[in-house]
């Protein structure tokens, strides 16, 4: 391009070759990074197994949509746009940063395919990308360091505030953008002075601005600036690479893996231990998560991948009503413990029980397992399985809240949390007015194609029983041949499983599964959303499970069920199942 001397050929003081530095720096940087990553991977190697190599098609889709497409970021518009700008710029400039390392060893190196038109197009895009990233970094630094959104705050009892680290990282990124642009601008300015060679540059980009500023600089200054900016960029690049695994910005490296391995099936709860069958649970010495290494490797990867954005806690209903739970701090405290127990050098420490060491009982029991945090997280971090595993460990240690002990004992004895007699489970169908007009089959005596699974709250709660009667009327009107299990039905166990009472849940599931299969039904319908979730996502080997709303929609579409015309088209009525 010009006669400017590149970093591979330049000699300091006229005799010392900078090629030595350009060779040693990558070796030290890559070697140090490999060592740091080996220490960071150590807890994942010791963690519990996790089956995350299924449904590769969905995992690739998540990678493209959630990681590459940053689909969830714009839900918080300003922060999302800033993050997307920096993320996209990073991806574009990663090609340039890679080539710069090699340029330090071979002047004029060009990546294969980037020597012609493609290279010119890339340089045009790259220059704007660097400019966009710098502007985004400045705005983000002002926002994070001065305005300080409330969701970023960290209480003193939890740990240190991460504002300083965030601003520092934005400074490193800005340094990379400026140094790369000055490196190129000084070369172009030198070429123009030396040979009159002109290059089309992206107007108003950093390179365009810097080239204009350097137009009258001496060739000696341009040569020195060119070499100096190369080493500034190289040092910043390798420092940044090694700094990332030391704090919350580790997600820059781990996010691609975390999103690929994120949950692809929703609604279910992970087994107590992968590879262990239900009938083998009695042989386990310990249940759930009690110490750090009891978490699965994916859940530990979650801890490393948290961007500390606070979106999960923003969406958490327990946190919103003042309960002592913030999903964000569940992750941060575990990550800090991993950093503490697995330091960069020396021995690995062992932690006590997690609930005594970093979590409180109230914190873990406050979770409603609703999944709002998981739906919001832009990095695929999971919480429900972690909370259930922690509860399994607490139940195994006898750490059960007083408020749960009575209903759990009732479930164990009577199959419902109210402790009411099994034979009263179908009393809702004996209401005089209802019974006078409708007959409900008992699948213990009669046969039917469809099972109406009522579940405990609908069976026993006086305020909810009307839903059972209305559901029956809809099924009857739709021409569905259905019946109920009556006293043979047990609680679905949806909440029991999520409370961590694994063995009680297994008992309820076994009894329900046996009764359902013996009834010979071809499908199951329920109006209870929790029963629907449990039967569909947690049970196995059952006939098809449908919610009553799905049945209604199918019957209306098939013309087998007619709805009354809308009385007022200007109003929309929404049915919310309590």
Domains of the chain and CATH, by start? 11-246 (no CATH), 278-399 (1.10.1060), 420-557 (3.40.50)
- Paired tokens of 511: 């009894």
What is the arithmetic mean of pLDDT over 456-471?
95
Tell me if 242 sits within 8 A of 32, measured CB to CB: yes
* pLDDT tens digit sequence for 397-437: 999 999 999 999 999 999 999 999 999 999 999 999 999 99
pLDDT cut 90: percent of the chain above it: 84
215 contact partners, CB below 8 Å, separation of at least 6: 189, 192
Cα-Cα-Cα-Cα torsion 283, 285, 291, 292, nearest 10 degrees, comes to -30
Tell me if 127 sits within 8 A of 95, measured CB to CB: no
Q: What beta strand segments (E) does 401-557 contain?
A: 441-442, 450-452, 482-484, 523-526, 544-547
Is residue 577 predicted with pLDDT exceeding 70?
A: no
Helix (H, G, I), strand (E, B) or coil at 304: helix
Label each residue of 210-223 as H, E or C: HHHHCCCCCHHHHH
SS3 content of the chain, % helix, strand, coil (to 5): 60, 5, 35
Rounded Cα distance between 465 and 428, Å, is 6
* pLDDT tens digit sequence for 276-308: 888 889 989 899 999 999 999 999 999 999 999
Helix (H, G, I), strand (E, B) or coil at 272: coil
* pLDDT tens digit sequence for 176-195: 999 999 999 999 999 988 77
Cα-Cα-Cα-Cα torsion 117, 122, 128, 133, nearest 10 degrees, comes to 180
C-alpha neighbours within 13 Å on the C-beta side of residue 271: 16
| pLDDT confidence of residue 13 | 75
> How many CB atoms lie under 10 A from the CB of residue 109?
14
What is the arithmetic mean of pLDDT over 203-212?
95
Rounded Cα distance between 189 and 199, Å, is 10
| 29-43, 112-126, 223-237, 380-394, range with the lowest pLDDT | 112-126
Residue-averaged pLDDT of the chain: 94
From the number of C-beta atoms within 10 Å of its C-beta (0-12, 13-18, 19+), residue 262 rates as buried
Per-residue exposure over 264-285, b if at least 16 CB sit within 10 Å of its own CB, e if not: eeeebbbebbeeeeeeeeeeee
What is the arithmetic mean of pLDDT over 356-369?
95
pLDDT cut 70: percent of the chain above it: 99
Rounded Cα distance between 31 and 166, Å, is 25
* pLDDT tens digit sequence for 324-350: 999 999 999 999 999 999 999 988 887
For residue 305, give the nearest of 340, 257, 239 by alpha carbon: 257
Instruction: Name the residue with tokens 């990282």.
Output: 169
* pLDDT tens digit sequence for 132-184: 999 999 999 999 999 988 889 888 888 888 899 999 999 999 999 999 999 99
Tell me if 375 sits within 8 A of 390, measured CB to CB: no
Tell me if 415 sits within 8 A of 491, measured CB to CB: yes
C-alpha neighbours within 13 Å on the C-beta side of residue 76: 17
* pLDDT tens digit sequence for 425-434: 999 999 999 9
Q: How far is CA 134 from the centre of its chain?
A: 27
Give, for 367, the enclosing helix (H) or strand (E): none
Tell me if 524 sits within 8 A of 558, measured CB to CB: no
| pLDDT confidence of residue 350 | 79
Question: Biggest alpha carbon distance in the chain?
Answer: 106
| pLDDT confidence of residue 108 | 86
Rounded Cα distance between 250 and 253, Å, is 6
Per-residue exposure over 203-242, b if at least 16 CB sit within 10 Å of its own CB, e if not: eebbbbebbeebeebeeeebbebbbebbbbbbebbbebbb
* pLDDT tens digit sequence for 223-276: 999 999 999 999 999 999 999 999 999 999 999 999 999 999 999 999 999 988
Report the sign of the C-alpha dihedral through residues 192, 195, 200, 202, in that order. Answer: negative
| pLDDT confidence of residue 570 | 86
Is residue 549 predicted with pLDDT exceeding 60?
A: yes
Q: How far is CA 290 from the centre of its chain?
A: 22
Is residue 1 predicted with pLDDT exceeding 70?
A: no
């Amino acid at each position: 391009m010009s006669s400017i001397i590149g970093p591979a050929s330049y000699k300091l003081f006229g005799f010392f070759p900078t090629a030595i530095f350009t060779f040693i720096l990558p070796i030290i940087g890559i070697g140090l990074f490999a060592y740091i990553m080996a220490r960071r991977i150590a807890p994942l190697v010791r963690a519990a197994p996790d089956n995350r190599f299924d449904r590769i098609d969905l995992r690739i889709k998540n990678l493209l949509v959630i990681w590459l497409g940053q689909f969830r970021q714009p839900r918080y518009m300003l922060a999302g746009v800033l993050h997307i700008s920096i993320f996209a710029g990073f991806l574009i400039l990663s090609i340039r940063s890679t080539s710069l390392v090699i340029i330090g060893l071979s002047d004029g190196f060009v990546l294969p395919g980037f020597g012609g038109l493609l290279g010119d197009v890339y340089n045009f895009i790259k220059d704007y990308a660097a400019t966009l990233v710098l502007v985004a970094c400045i705005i983000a630094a002002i926002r994070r360091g001065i305005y300080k959104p409330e969701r970023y705050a960290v209480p003193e009892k939890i740990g240190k505030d991460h504002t300083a680290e965030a601003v520092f990282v934005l400074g490193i990124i800005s340094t990379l953008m400026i140094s790369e642009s000055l490196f190129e601008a000084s070369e172009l300015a030198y070429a123009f002075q030396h040979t009159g060679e002109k290059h089309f540059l992206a107007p108003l980009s950093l390179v365009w601005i810097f080239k204009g500023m350097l137009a009258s600089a001496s060739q000696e200054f341009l040569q020195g600036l060119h070499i100096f900016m190369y080493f500034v960029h190289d040092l910043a690049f390798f420092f940044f690479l090694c700094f990332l695994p030391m704090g919350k910005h580790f997600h820059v490296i781990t996010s691609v893996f975390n999103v690929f391995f994120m949950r692809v099936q929703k609604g279910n709860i992970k087994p107590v231990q992968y590879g262990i069958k239900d009938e083998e649970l009695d042989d386990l010495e310990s249940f759930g998560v009690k110490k750090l290494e009891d978490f699965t490797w994916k859940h530990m990867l979650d801890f490393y991948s948290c961007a500390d954005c606070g979106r999960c806690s923003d969406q958490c209903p327990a946190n919103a009503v003042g309960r002592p739970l913030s999903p964000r701090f569940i992750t941060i405290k575990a990550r800090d413990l991993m950093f503490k127990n697995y330091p960069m050098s020396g021995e690995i420490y062992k932690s006590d029980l997690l609930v005594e060491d970093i979590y409180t009982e109230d914190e873990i029991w406050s979770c409603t397992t609703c999944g709002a945090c998981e739906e919001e997280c832009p990095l695929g971090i999971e919480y429900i399985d972690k909370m259930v595993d922690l509860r399994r460990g607490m139940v195994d240690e006898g750490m059960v809240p007083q408020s749960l002990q009575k209903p759990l004992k009732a479930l164990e004895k009577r199959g419902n949390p109210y402790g009411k007699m099994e034979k009263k489970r179908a009393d809702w169908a004996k209401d005089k007015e209802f019974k006078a007009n409708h007959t409900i089959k008992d699948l213990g005596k009669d046969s039917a194609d469809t099972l109406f699974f009522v579940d405990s709250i609908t069976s026993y709660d006086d305020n909810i029983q009307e839903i059972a009667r209305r559901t029956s009327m809809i099924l009857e009107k739709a021409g569905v041949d259905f019946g109920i299990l009556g006293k043979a039905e047990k609680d679905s166990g949806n909440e029991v499983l999520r409370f961590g009472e694994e063995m009680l849940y297994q008992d309820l599931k076994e009894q329900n599964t046996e009764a359902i299969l013996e009834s010979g039904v071809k499908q199951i319908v329920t109006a209870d959303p929790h029963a629907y979730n449990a039967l569909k996502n947690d049970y196995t080997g059952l006939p098809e499970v449908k919610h009553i709303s799905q049945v209604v929609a199918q019957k209306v579409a098939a013309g087998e069920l007619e709805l009354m015309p809308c009385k007022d088209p200007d109003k929309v009525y929404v049915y919310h199942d309590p």
